[in-house]
Every structure is written in structure tokens, then in C-alpha cells.
Amino acid sequence: MTFRHCFLIASLLGVNTACAAELTDWQLPARLSYGYGTEAGESVHGYLELEPSSTFSLSPRTRLELSARARLDSVDELEPGKPSLDTYSEFSKPVTLGTAGTLELRDAYVEFELDNGIARFGKQQIVWGRLDGLKVLDVMNPQSFREFILEDAGHARIGLWSAYVDSTIDDWRVEFALIPDATGHQIPDEEAWFQLTAPRFRYGAKPGQSAPQMTTVREQDWFKETAAGLQVSRFFGSVGVSAMAYSGMEHQPLGRIAIVDSAPVLERHYERRNLLGLSADMAIGSVALRAEGAWQPGRTFNTRSATELDTDDLDQATLALGADVFAPLDLFINLQVLFDNIKNAPDTLVRPAQDRIATAVVRRSFNYETISVELRMNSSLNTGDRLMSAAATYDYRTDTELELKFESFRGNERGLFGQFEGRDRLIVSLRQFF
Amino acid sequence: MLKRSKAELFFWQITRNPLLVVLVSVMLLLGTAAGLLTIVKDTSVKAFIPSDHPSRITDQDITKTFGLTDTVAVAMISQDGSTVFQPDALAALEQLSEQIADLDNIRDDRVSSLATKSSIRGDDGAVLVDEYVPYGSLSEADAQDAFARWQNMPQHQGTLVNPEATAAIVMAEMRDIYEAKATYDAIQGIIADLDAQSDGPHFEFHVAGPGAVSGLMSAYIDHDARRMQPFVFVLVISFIFIAFRRFGALPGPIFVVLGATGGAMGIMAWANVPYYAITNALPVIIIAIAVADAIHILSAYYQLRAQQPEAPVRELVVKAMVEMMRPVTLTTLTTIAGFIGIAVVSIMPPITAFAWFAALGVFLAWLFSVFALPNLLVLLKPAPSPSFDNWKQNRPSGTGRFLAHCGAFAAARYKLVLGIFLVLVLIAANGAMKVTFDRSQVDNFKPDADIRIADELINDTFAGTAFLNILVEADETDGLMDVGRMQKIVDLQTFAEQQPHVQKTVAITDYISQLHKAIEELPASEERLLPDSDNAIAQYLLIYEVSGDPTGLEEDIDTLYQKALVRVAMNEPHFSKNRQTVEAIQQYIDQQFNEPGFTAALGGDVNTTYHWMKSLQENHLTGVAVSLLLVFIAATLMFRSLASGFASIVPVCFALLVLYACMGYTGVYLEPATSMFAAIALGVGVDFAIHLVDKLREALRLHNGDVIAAVDHALPPVARACFFNSAALGLGFAVLTLSELPTLQRFGGLIAVATFTSFLAALLLVPALFALGRSAHRVALAAAATTAVLAIVIGVIAYPNTAHAAEAYDGNTIAQHVADRQEGDAARRILDITLTDRRDQTRERQALVLKLKQEGARLTRISYLEPRSVEGVSFLSHDFHSADRDDDRWLFVPATRRARRLPASARGDYFLGTDFTYEDIQSELKFNMDDYDFEYRGTETLDGKKLHVIAGTPRNEDIARQLGYGAFEALVDETTWMPVKVDFQDPDREPLKTINVHRVETIDGIVTATRIEATNHQTGHSTVFALRDVSHPDTLPGNIFQPSGLTRGLPSSVLK
């Protein structure tokens, strides 16, 4: 039993004690999901997932929110064996349940109602930005890439121990976040179904090239790893505008080669990044428009030459635009495009100097929204590779959902989506709310 | 020698010295008619309200204090949508303003336009009051500067320049409304010159405004009436010639007409009774009635002349007079009784005066017919008339025989004739029930008249030309230098601006607010902000006087700071549409504004018209009923027979019904101009029946009750006289249909119809009624039954019509009542939603619904509480009242932790899987007045309750597509103004869905539908909304209606 375990148990006990407080709400969604790799001809996953959550009222204006996720995967191809989970901070790391499961505390925070806002302290998700899936300004929390980007953003996002204040001053909304938790993205281990094999994720290594031993190195100084963010928002007429400043550790690790016991070891480490961002949205008739822009000066990127794996500090500018359209025939269409540019990128940069990504979603509901059909496509305009999915959801009963989904990847193995070519998957899920 | 009767003796006496009597008559005529030289005109709208009426007193006070007089409006509208804020356009506007101010009839200090007004702005705490159009030549920069300054002056938007800045207006007050026509023509000349000079932006000019419309109408009525009156006179006289074919027959009737008309008008002038607009009809009426007496007397004379060619003229004249004395006196008395009935009931001075002097004219006609006419005949000794040659053989003329045959047919087939008349009564009753009380001054012009087009265009482009003035008065000098009182004025303005058809209000508070914002450097907005202290108000006004034109505020506040004027601009001149606004504002003033020492009172044209019409509604049909009653009493007393009394009024009742039916079927409003028609028709039409009844009674005695024989005997001479009388009158009035003015056209046409109808009805109904009575000895009962039926029909029409008119029930009014139903400033409710599909499978949801009313917007937040799959999902909507601004919507899904902005449109989209659309949810079961045209379809009974039925059709296809509805029909409960059932059709006009309101409760004083079901007929799906835990707090926290409030969750105070 590690300190981590003790901390978790202590938290739960403390919470139990606090159950002198009033339980005001609880729910227990359960999901049973089976995935089959259609090209691979094998099962990908077969898991049961429980996500209990509860709300306790500690005082008239104070409440405690708790939520957790327990997952048991009998097929265990998504996270084969016992996951390393070394990208998590000590206080955020999920508990492994043997080799096939994990138990994770997702939210555990106390929220105080202020006169003009709220203050939250604890493990929580802080979501900034306005786009779906394109994380230009949604940088406060890391995410799990266990299923690449195929999980819903809220499902994949990893909560962090943080302090968050959201207040309204006159016409301005001011949000401030302090995040001492430096958990990074959960990156699938080797041999995972969605192992990231594109060079940009493997520090420039070619696809198929075997990876050296990897370790994850952390600063061990929570103060130095603390992230902070400030966002101010207001409406100008009907246009909502936000300006944001963020400084925190990268969620995606950089790599460096260290020699340990005379053997090369790939050390994954994290550097600080700073971000200034601006976003806006407005609605005109049957169209809602969104935009996000980010400027990250001196961001650290890996470079790889024939002889060394190094880093370089470069400026990165990102712009993303999105539109929701209520189209004829009751179609909902979402279109997004992202332009990402690293200035003065050297040829040895492990990732493309420019990314051009487009996403499209078409959704339609039938039968009084009991049936929903969605087509989705994500495409890298640089390389032409793409991800397509089609899903149908049926609300069988009030609290019972059935889902059928098919995902397909096409493209070059070096591409963002093409790296998963051959990993097409058919998924059947049942979700029941208790 | 046979003993002479008293009547014979009388007429022998008065014809002893014919020349003397004629000379005395001439002197009487000249003496009375001389008064016409001193006649005073008052053709204004205000004249219709008694001088001691509060609204009139208020108007006089307003005129005295603020100097407001009748206004002419000149609009300059861009043809290609270009802005008026261009150097050329502003220069043209300046030139137009100056030239209008130079006109003699225009008060040069009361010309309002961009060229004469100034803006108020602040600069580092200093107040700058600058003219929009500076002296000298204008540059593009000047124009842009003017535009920028105008944009910060809300009180000048819609009043000086329209909100889109593509049109400007010049409002100028006239000195003398009676010179309105000349002023109108002069302004048209100015515009023509401007047009000719202009080579810049293209603008079109229109002249209208209440003063112009009133003045022009009076001028046109005067002009047309004077043009037509001699024509009518000539036509009537021509018919007399056709009737008798003797020039010698003309002097008598001409003299009687002149005596009656000149005498009545002259005495009216001597009595200092003004000549009102409605007085134009008086000479025509008196001519019509006066000539009738003369025709009957002449007919009797010529008949006797033919039968006794050798008898002395004087003897024939006396015999004719004796024969006609009774019916002429009868008709005189009944006609006078009819006019007296109108006079005593009406409170409107012009109508009262009209009725009294019409009665006087009828009396003078009798006087001249009884005294002067026989003496003229004795003097002139008219030769026998060839039209009466048949009487030499004691045979009636062809015309007389034909008419007698008609009467005899009616007597012989009385059941058929009475049956047909009953059917006609029902048809006419149906038409009469469609008559509505309404008025719009501008509707008195033809649809293609320049002034009407201009008035409608100006009302559409600017804030409106129909003004309601509110005089606010404190009880002491400087009494308005009080922040609390100024705030009350602001609240009054805010209330007024929420009323239907109110586009704008302007008052001193707008200027104080502007000054306050300028001095305190507050951002420009439409909100009226006042300073905190009383002293500040006084200082602001001083600053304005020093910085700008000291008289600039004289239209808004008096020099003692005791009285202020709030001008409410409305773009709807119709009484039926703006009466509700007047009543609402009056009620607000009475209940919420007035307090000891600080009061408000309504004035202005809209208010005057309201009281005018209200008085008319309350008195019109009462006046007609009283007139009919007096006629009935007079006829009964004179004939000493109830049956004869009834028989006398049945034909004229029928004619009145037909008159109302014509108005109902042709859409002619009942308004002051048309309200006189009934009185005139009564006065003119009752004579025919009186003459026929009189002669028939006499003939029945001679023929021992044989009706057919009596008809054959009596009708030829009297029916012939009546025929020519009705022809002369009817055609005489019909001439007025040639007028340019719809008012006079309607007047002439309807009176002509009433005249002919009265004659025909008398010709057929009187013999039929007599036949019915004789055959069954139930004359009284039959006539009473028929009259009772007619009276009941008229009464039923009158009373519900009055009631309907008093409530002005039409589709728009009902829909407006529904729209005005109070919903409270905030609402909280739990909504239990049950969704049932066609297989009866149900799903249930529960949501917390919060609503908040803010200025200019309605905020709605719906947060799902159950089921767990959607718990926490929240929908937020900001619905802006302004059509220019799209609604804002957001959706929050807990899993995403983010509020997603949604597109604004799709009000017709179904809300989250229910059968209610977004529009249904937000509208609170009210109909958007801007989306639909409404039609009233009567009433229906549902569950024992009487409900109003209204139908709504989207105004255009775009709206139909947005809403998803092609039409609806709703049953509305007038006790709650809540629709009880609404049937919707889709845009293809197929049945779509029905919304039923199963339960309505009053909670916190707010009528709330607490159980509503929507059933979609096309899908078989239904949704039930059951509301519980409903409350209407004064307010709710505003931040929960913001996107930030979605991500923060609901505060505990709201959840509980």
C-alpha cells in the first residue's frame, strides 16, 4: 500500500465522516461496452464501467461533489496488463484493479457559493475554450488517450487537484485557477490498441521502430509544477469574448535520452508552457460561430536528428474556427478547422511545423429524440489521413441507452489518424442510469 | 251655405291678405337668414367634445401652457435607402424647414426638424448643446458628426429621423387650422421647387400630419358640400317640375325651402352656434324635408284644380290646405320628435346643435308651408298641371295608378309580402350586426389620395402622427424639480411605451437624462437615467438654457417648472386599435400616478377621438331608440290609434335596419359622420308612412273597411306625391356620391338608399299591415308583432353591437388581451413532462423552469432534474423583444462542463423531444402580435363556458416557416385571457397539433396554466406539461440566466 492509496482512502473516510452532511443527489451510470476490431478480426474491449457520483450539502451554500469511475475490461486490449500510469501525479493516480481494471477518483471538490460566483477546491475539471475536441484553449486538464480521441471529451478529461474561483464583476466574468497537480496526458503503453505510433508521439522514431526503455521524470517540486490560469469574459452585444492567460506544465511529455546503467533510457519529462488565448462566439440566425486563438511563446518541442534527441523553444500560434448550423431536414452540422503553426520550425522538429485539421459532425434525431444518428469525420489536411465514425443511439427507456458505433481510420502511418489504420472498430454499448 | 270647418275658417283667414302674408314671410326669411353673415365656423375634432369635458379642458391647458397647435408633417424619405445624414440631404432639409417656417400660417418658432433641433452631449464633464445642422455650408464631416450625435439622442430617433436614418421629418404648427388647405398647397409648392433644384440624393416628400388631415378634410367637406348643395337644390326643384310640369309650381316650394333653410341656419348663427363640419348636411336635410310638404300640398291643389277647374283658386287652395294640414302637421311633428330624440341624448355639441336646428328647420318648413305657401298660390294662381289631367275624369295619373296597384297587391297578398319582409329583415339584421364603431380621420380620404398615402407612409416610417398628450402638473411652482416626481414621469413613459402602437414617448425627462449622461460621462443608452438630487435637475435645466436655445424646452416644461408635457407618439390612428392604449394609460394614471399635489391628465387628438367615439357608442343607439319612441308616441297620439302608430314606424324601422345592414356589409364604420345617417333617415323616411297611414285610415272609413278598395282610392294621389318626394330626395342625396370625399359619398349613398327603402317599405308594408289587421281584426297585434320583431331585432343588434363595440371585439383585440395577460416579472416552477408515443409508451422527465423579465428581453432557463440520463442538462434562452436582434441560446451538458452557444433561429423547432416548440415554451401561451393576422370568429361553448374564437394566420410565408404553423384557431376564456384550446395547422394547412389547457390556477396573482397537453395529430405523439411548486417572486438572481450561471450550477436558494 502506497502513500497514494492511503491518501485516497483517507479522502474517502473523510468524506464518509462528512456524510453527517446531507446527501442531496446521487447517481450510478453503468456502461457495458464491447468493441470488435473489424480489420484485425479480434475483440478490442469488453468492459463494464461504473461511474458513481454524489452531491452532499455541507451548508446552505456549500456542497461536496464526488465522482469516481471503476472500469473492468475483460479483453484488456486498450490498456493491456497493468497500466503504468506514471504520467499521473501521485495524488491523482488511479488505483489499478488487478491487470484488467482501474478505479479512479474523478471529482472530489468542495464548492462554495459566493455572492457573485463560486469557489471550488479539490479534484475537478476546468474547461475553458469553446470548440469541440480541438484543444486550443482547453488546456487546463490533461486527457486520457486510452481510446485516442474517440471518447467524449468529458469522459476522457482527467480531473486535477486545483483551486478555482469563478466570479462576476459588473459585466465581466473572471475565472482564476491554481493547479498544483501536474498530471499529464495518459498515454497508452506499448502494445495498447491505440498506442501512439506516429513519429510526433514517439519523439521522432519511425513507425515500427522499437522503443527504448522509458521512464517518466517529474520535477518533484509541486510549487514549480503548479499551473495557473486566468480568464476574463464578457459580452459585447451578443458576441461572447474571452481572454485567457495560462502557465503550466505540458501535458504531453517531451523526451530526452539518458544513460542509465550504461543503457539508453528515454526519459519523458515535462516543461512549462505559457499561453495567451482569445476566444469568441456568436450566433447569427441558424448559425453559431466560434473562434479560438492561442499564442504560446517559447514552447518546448522535441527535435530529432540522426544523432540526438533534443529540444528547441519555438513560438506556436494556433487558430481554430467552428460553426454549428441548424440545417434543413432537421440536421445539426458542426464544422471546425484548426490552423496550427510553429514559427521558424527546424527540419528536425519531430512534429509537422504546421497542422491543418478539419472536423465535421452531422447529427440528426428521430422519433422525438429517442434515436440519434451521428456521422463524424476528422481529417488532417496536411497529410490527408482521416478518422471517420458513424454512431446510432437509441433511448430504449428513460434511463437506458443503446449505442452502435463504427470507427474507421485511413491514411499514412506517420499521420495523426493514419497511425491507426487497420484499427477500425465496431462498438456496441448499453448504458443504464441508476 | 255649408258651415265651414275650423280648419277652413283658419285658412280663409290667413289668405285674406296674401300679399301682406307673403311680404311678412319674406321679411322673416331675410331677417333670420341675415344671421348667416355672422356665422362662426368650428370644424375641428375638438368641437365634438363638450367644452367642460375634462379632455377638452386638458387640451386647452396644454395649448395655453405649451402653445401646441395643430401640426402639419412633411416627411423626406430616401428613395434608395441612403442616409439623410449627407451634406446635400441636410441642406435640403434645412431649406425645407426655413421655407416652411416662412409661410404665413406657420408659427416660425414651432418648426421641429433636424435643422432646428440640437443634440446634447458631454465632453469632459461639460455639456455641449449643438445644432445638428450648423450654420453655413455642410461638409461630409459635419454630416457624420450630426449622425454620431443623433445616435446618442434617443428622443430624436423616430421623431426627427427614423431609426434607419433614411428619412427625416419636419413638424410645423399652424396658426389657423382653417387655412390648412392653403398651407398644404403652399408646402406642396415648396416641395416641388426643392425637387426641381435637387440633383443630389433622391428623396420623396410627403405632407400629412393631424393638422393637415383635419384641416384638409374640413376644407374638402366645405368645398364639396358647397359645390353639391346647389346641385341638390337644383335637382330637387327639377323633380318638382317633372312632377307637376309647371313652372308655376316652383315658386312655392322654393320659397318654403329658402324660408326653412335660411331661417334655421340664420337663427343658428344669431344664436352664436358655430357651423360645425357636420352642419354641412343640415341644409340638405332641411331642403329634403321642406320640399316634401310643398309637394304634398301642391299635389292636393292640382288634383282639386283638375277636378274643379271653375272653382276659385283661393277656394281650391283652402281646400287643399285643409286636406293636407293634418298629414303635413303629422309628419312635421313626427320628424321634429325624431330629431329631438337625437338632440336630448347626444352630448356632442355639433350633433346636438344639428338635431335642434334640423327640428327648427322642419318647423319653419311647416310654418312657411302653412302660412306662406297658400298665399303664394293665391297670388300666383298656378295653371292646372298636365300631370293631373286624369283627375278631370276623377281618374288618377298613370304613376298614381301603378303605385296604387302595388299597394293593392301588397294588401291582397299581405302574408306573402310580410313573409318576404321578414326574410329581408333577417338578412339585413345579419349585415347590421357586422357594424363596428371605429374612426380614423385619414380614412375619410380616398385610398389613393395623396394625404392618405402620405399619412400612412409617415406612420410606418416614423414614430407616428397620432399623439396622446399627458399633462403632468404639480401643485406648486418648481414642483417638478423633484427626482421622485421625475422618476414617476419616467415610469409613466415606460408603461406607455409598453402599450400597443406606442412607438415613442418624449418628455422633459429625456432631456434631463441626456444631460445627466453627458455630465456624468455615462455610456449612451436608451435607458432614462436621472440624477440623485433635486438640485441636480434644476442645475441641468439651467445648464441647458445657458448652453443652447433657452426656449428649446418650452414644448416640454413650463417656465414655472410646474407643468410638463409627455408626448406619446402612436402609429395607429384607428380608434378600435388604440382605445386599449388610452384606457390602459388612463387607468395607470388613475391608479398608480396621481397623488395629492401631483397629477396627470390625458389630452391630444387620440384622447379626443377616444372620448368622442366612446360617447358615440354610449349614446348613438339610445338616441335612435328614443327618436323612434318619440315618433311612435307622436303618431299614436295624432292618429289616436296604437295600430296606426305602429304601422307608421314599421317602414322606417325597416329602412334603418337596411341602412345599418348596408354599413355592415360594406364595412362602413359607425363614427360621428355616419352616426347622423340614422337620424336623417328617420327624419326623411317617416313621412311616407305617415301620409299613407293617414290617407288609408280616411279611405277605410269611406269604404267600410274594405282595404283593397281603400288602397285603390287613397293611394294614387298620396303615393304619387310620396314617389316624387322620394325620387327628388333620393336622387338629390345620390348626387353626393359624386363627391371626391368618401365621407360625403357614404352620406349621399346611404341616405339615398334609406329614402328609397322608406318609400318602398311604406308603399308595401302599410297596405299589407292594414290588410292583416282588417282580415283578422288584429291590426294592433299584427303591427305590434311586426314592430316588436323589428324593434327586438334592432335592439338585439344595438345592444350586443354596443357591447361589442364597447369592447371592440375583434381578433386583434382578443389576441392583444391574451398578449397583455400578466405573467409576473419572474417565475419558478417544476415541470413534470410526460411524453407518450403512438404505442402509448411513456417517458417522463422533470425540469426546473426559471423565467425572468428584463428590459427588452425575456430570459428562460430550463434545467432537467430527471431522468438521470439528462440530469443537469440545462437550456438557456435570451429572447429579445426587438425584431432586430436575434435571440441568444445556450445548452449545457454536464459531461462537457461547458455551455455551448446554439444558433438562434428555429423557434418552430421542437423543444428537446417534446411536442412544444421553442416558441410555444417561451410564449407562455400568448400570441405574438407581430407574427399573426387575427380574425374574430365569434364564440363557442366548451364545458359550459363561453369562449371567444379567434383565428391567426402568419403574416407571411417566412414567419409560417419559422414557426412551423400555417394557421391556428384558439378558444380564449375572457375571464382569464388564457387560451383554453389551440388547434394548429402546419404550413400546408393540414391539421398539425392541438394544445389543450386542462387546468388554470391563479398563483401569486398571476393566471397560470398548470396542466397543458400538446397532441401531434400527424405523429400520434403527445406531451403533457404539469406545473407544480409554481411561484412568481419579484425577481430572481440575474446571474443564473447567464452562460456562466449554467456552468456554475443553480444556487441553493433557487433549487429549493
Q: What value of ipTM does the predicted structure carry?
A: 0.92
Which chain B residues are within 8 Å of A27, Cβ to Cβ? 868, 871
Using one digit for the tens of pLDDT, what is the confidence trace for A46-62? Answer: 999 999 999 999 988 89
pLDDT, position B473: 93
In this structure, how many other beta carbons lie within 10 angstroms of the beta carbon of residue B19?
10
Confidence of residue B868 (pLDDT cuts 50, 70, 90): confident
One DSSP character per residue, B923-974 reads: HTS---TTTEEEEEEEEEEETTEEEEEEEEEESSHHHHHHHT-SEEEEEEET
- Return the percent helix, strand and coil in chain A, to nearest 5: 5, 55, 35
Mean per-residue pLDDT for B49-76?
81
Which chain B residues are within 8 Å of A240, Cβ to Cβ? 901, 1043
The answer to whether the CB atoms of A288 and B901 lie below 8 A apart is yes
pLDDT of residue A9 exceeding 70, the answer is no
Helix B349-367 to helix B282-307 angle, to the nearest 10 degrees? 20
Confidence of residue A289 (pLDDT cuts 50, 70, 90): very high
Which residues share a beta bridge with A43? Answer: A36
pLDDT of residue B913 exceeding 70, the answer is yes
Distance, in Å, from the CA atom of B62 to the CA atom of B60, rounded to the nearest integer, reads 5
pLDDT, position A408: 95
pLDDT, position B804: 43
pLDDT of residue B805 exceeding 60, the answer is no
Largest Cα–Cα distance of chain A, in whole Å? 66
Distance, in Å, from the CA atom of B604 to the CA atom of B346, rounded to the nearest integer, reads 22
User: If 0-12 CB within 10 Å is exposed, 13-18 middle and 19+ buried, where does residue B139 land?
Assistant: exposed
Distance, in Å, from the CA atom of B92 to the CA atom of B85, rounded to the nearest integer, reads 11
Mean per-residue pLDDT for A246-251?
95
A21: three-class secondary structure by DSSP: coil
Is A116 an interface residue toward B (CB < 8 Å)?
yes
**Mutate which: B897, B915, B1047, vs A, most A CBs within 10 A:** B897
pLDDT, position A274: 97
pLDDT, position B133: 86
- Helix count and strand count (H, E) for chain B: 30, 23
First-to-last alpha carbon distance for chain B, in angstroms, is: 112
Taking alpha carbons only, the member of B139, B92, B99, B140 closest to residue B114 is: B92
Find all residues with CB under 8 Å of B680, minimum gap 6, and list them. B281, B285, B751, B754
The answer to whether the CB atoms of B901 and A324 lie below 8 A apart is yes
pLDDT, position A13: 58
Is A61 an interface residue toward B (CB < 8 Å)?
yes
Over the Cα atoms of chain A, what is R_g? 22
Using one digit for the tens of pLDDT, what is the confidence trace for B600-617? Answer: 999 988 888 888 788 777
Mean per-residue pLDDT for A363-381?
93
The residue whose grid cell reads 308616441 is B633
Mean per-residue pLDDT for A360-368?
92
Residue A425 in grid coordinates: 472498430
With the CA atoms of B502, B503, B508 and B511 taken in that order, what torsion angle do they form, in degrees rounded to the nearest 10? 160
Residue A80 in grid coordinates: 493491456
Which chain A residues are within 8 Å of B895, Cβ to Cβ? 152, 154-155
Dihedral over Cα of B441, B447, B449, B450: its sign: positive
- Of A136-145, A262-271, B1021-1030, the one with minimum mean pLDDT is A262-271
Which residues share a beta bridge with A339? Answer: A319, A356
Using one digit for the tens of pLDDT, what is the confidence trace for B480-531? Answer: 999 999 999 999 998 898 887 888 899 999 989 988 888 888 887 778 889 9
**DSSP label of B371:** I
What average pLDDT is seen over chain B? 85
Which residues share a beta bridge with A111? Answer: A63, A120
Using one digit for the tens of pLDDT, what is the confidence trace for B1039-1048? Answer: 899 999 999 8
Residue B443 in grid coordinates: 380614412
The amino acid at B432: A
Is A212 an interface residue toward B (CB < 8 Å)?
no
Distance from CA of B56 to the nearest CA of A (A): 46
**A262 phi, psi to nearest 5 deg:** 65, 10
Is A113 an interface residue toward B (CB < 8 Å)?
yes
**B164 phi, psi to nearest 5 deg:** -85, -5
B563-570 and B1022-1031 strand pairing:
unpaired
pLDDT, position A82: 84
What average pLDDT is seen over chain A? 90
Who has greater pLDDT, A330 or A176?
A176
> Are the CB atoms for A196 and A187 separated by under 8 Å?
yes
Is A233 an interface residue toward B (CB < 8 Å)?
yes
Is A285 an interface residue toward B (CB < 8 Å)?
yes
pLDDT, position A313: 95
Find all residues with CB under 8 Å of B296, minimum gap 6, and list them. B324, B327, B328, B691, B718, B721, B725
Residue B1038 in grid coordinates: 440575474
Residue B127 in grid coordinates: 455639456
Enclosing H/E stretch for B593: none
Distance, in Å, from the CA atom of B502 to the CA atom of B467, rounded to the nearest integer, reads 9
> Are the CB atoms for B96 and B171 separated by under 8 Å?
no
Distance from CA of B872 to the nearest CA of A (A): 11
With the CA atoms of B229, B233, B235 and B236 taken in that order, what torsion angle do they form, in degrees rounded to the nearest 10? 130
- Of A23-37, B304-318, B334-348, B503-517, the one with minimum mean pLDDT is B334-348
- Of A313-322, B438-447, B1008-1017, the one with minimum mean pLDDT is B438-447
Using one digit for the tens of pLDDT, what is the confidence trace for B617-631? Answer: 777 777 788 888 888
Confidence of residue B975 (pLDDT cuts 50, 70, 90): confident
Is A49 an interface residue toward B (CB < 8 Å)?
no
> Are the CB atoms for A75 and A46 separated by under 8 Å?
yes
pLDDT of residue B677 exceeding 90, the answer is no
Residue B930 in grid coordinates: 407581430
The amino acid at B495: F
User: Which chain A residue is nearest to residue B1020, measuring alpha carbons?
Assistant: A367
pTM, 2 dp: 0.55
Find all residues with CB under 8 Å of B339, minimum gap 6, and list them. B355, B356, B358, B359, B362, B627, B679, B683
The amino acid at B313: V
Who has greater pLDDT, B201 or B788?
B788
The amino acid at B633: I
Closest partner residue to A326 (CB to CB) among B843, B903, B1021 is B903
Distance, in Å, from the CA atom of B154 to the CA atom of B524, rounded to the nearest integer, reads 9
Distance, in Å, from the CA atom of B450 to the CA atom of B111, rounded to the nearest integer, reads 22
Distance, in Å, from the CA atom of B564 to the CA atom of B560, rounded to the nearest integer, reads 10
Distance from CA of A118 to the nearest CA of B (A): 7
The answer to whether the CB atoms of B837 and A398 lie below 8 A apart is no
**Mutate which: A114, A167, A238, vs B, most B CBs within 10 A:** A238
Distance from CA of A285 to the nearest CA of B (A): 5
CA angle B874, B877, B883 (to 5 degrees): 165
pLDDT, position B807: 45
The residue whose grid cell reads 291582397 is B412
In this structure, how many other beta carbons lie within 10 angstroms of the beta carbon of residue B805?
24
- Count of residues for chain B? 1056
> Are the CB atoms for A1 and A404 separated by under 8 Å?
no
Find all residues with CB under 8 Å of B535, minimum gap 6, and list them. none
The amino acid at B174: M
Highest mean pLDDT out of A7-11, B238-242, B244-248, B947-951: B947-951
Mean per-residue pLDDT for B876-885?
82
Taking alpha carbons only, the member of B775, B641, B764 closest to residue B697 is: B641
Which chain A residues are within 8 Å of B1054, Cβ to Cβ? none
pLDDT, position B801: 45
Dihedral over Cα of B1, B7, B13, B15: its sign: negative
In this structure, how many other beta carbons lie within 10 angstroms of the beta carbon of residue A327?
14
With the CA atoms of B1005, B1007, B1012 and B1018 taken in that order, what torsion angle do they form, in degrees rounded to the nearest 10? -150
A62-73 and A42-50 strand pairing:
antiparallel
pLDDT, position B827: 93
Dihedral over Cα of B959, B965, B969, B974: its sign: negative
Taking alpha carbons only, the member of A181, A203, A200, A283 closest to residue A235 is: A283
pLDDT, position B3: 64
Enclosing H/E stretch for A366: strand A354-366
pLDDT, position B795: 61
Over the Cα atoms of chain B, what is R_g? 35
Dihedral over Cα of B698, B703, B707, B708: its sign: negative
Find all residues with CB under 8 Å of B61, minimum gap 6, and list them. B471, B563, B601, B603
Who has greater pLDDT, B752 or B671?
B752
